[in-house]
Amino acid sequence: MEKEITLSIKGIEIHGMQMGNPEGEPVLMLHGWLDNAASFTPLSAMLNDYNLVAVDLPGHGLSGHFPEHSHYHFWAGIEDIELILDQLAWQHCHLVGHSMGAAMATLYAGTFPDRVKTLTLIEAIGPLAGDAEGTPDRVAQAIEQMKNHNPEQPVKPDLNVFIQARLNGHLKLSEDSAKLIMQRSVYELNDGYSWRNDKRLRHTSMVRLPEDFIVSFIKNIGCPVLGIFATDGLFKETHIAKRWQYVQNPYSLLWMSGGHHLHMDGDVRRIAQNIKDFIG
């Protein structure tokens, strides 16, 4: 079963996809930066026993954009997830996050440990840390970008332009995966197509949390944690190991062949089986 759902948080609509078994264990799935709920479609097809909800996070996909002069902070995602769970009326759930979604899920599970039954992190454990000395320049750059922000997205005549943009991006995708994400990332106009995503998502983050702050969240995670990382992904094993050592209840840390979107283009069946074995 698959159906579209709409929630409301902080004055905007959050759109999502509900899949699997409505009577099953609740699983909230959080996508990566500039992706959307559709990025979990391949994985969800193999997790039919669970009550799966994959949302388009604020500013992404079909979901609404925050008001003028609002910022998209990683740590603000803690509140977003809390409000989404409240809207779903889920007192407890399993969290599955990819990249940005995994970073937010890490912070959330450390903030509200009693609401998270298990935590599956794909290609991130917490957000990137900030350099204290560079913070003033970062804040200035973010404010300048906001002052000059133009919310209008350019219109392109051909949908293939958007697919090629994802294929040629830093984080490589297969063509099938790029097309899947485009279903919720682009809308059609009379004279062409345009991105749905909020352009502010590409702005410099005003503040990045220091490493010791991030570690404090990781230490406070109470549930079992499964980590799934790509051998050709964003992170080196040494970087992940430095944070993984603070996980209080580690289940397993897996390194699998593939790139950053291994949950779409890698061994999806094996990833799904590991998640099923983990959640139970």
- Catalytically active residues are 99
| Dihedral angle sign, alpha carbons of residues 171, 277, 54, 104 | negative
* Contact criterion met (CB below 8 Å) for 30 and 50: no
Under DSSP, the state recorded for 156 is: B
Counts for the chain of helices (H) and strands (E), in that order: 10, 10
Hey, how many other C-beta atoms are within 10 angstroms of the C-beta on 129? 15
147 class by beta-carbon count within 10 Å (0-12 exposed, 13-18 middle, 19+ buried): exposed
1: nearest Cα among 62, 48, 54? 48
259: nearest Cα among 165, 178, 159, 147? 178
Q: What is the 3-state secondary structure (H, E, C) of 202-260?
A: HCCCCCCCCHHHHHHHHHCCCCCEEEEEECCCCCCHHHHHHHHCCCCCEEEEEEECCCC
Helix (H) or strand (E) holding 120: strand 116-122
Per-position b or e across 64-87, b if 16+ CB within 10 A of its CB: bbbeeebbbbbbbbbebbeebbeb
Under DSSP, the state recorded for 268 is: H
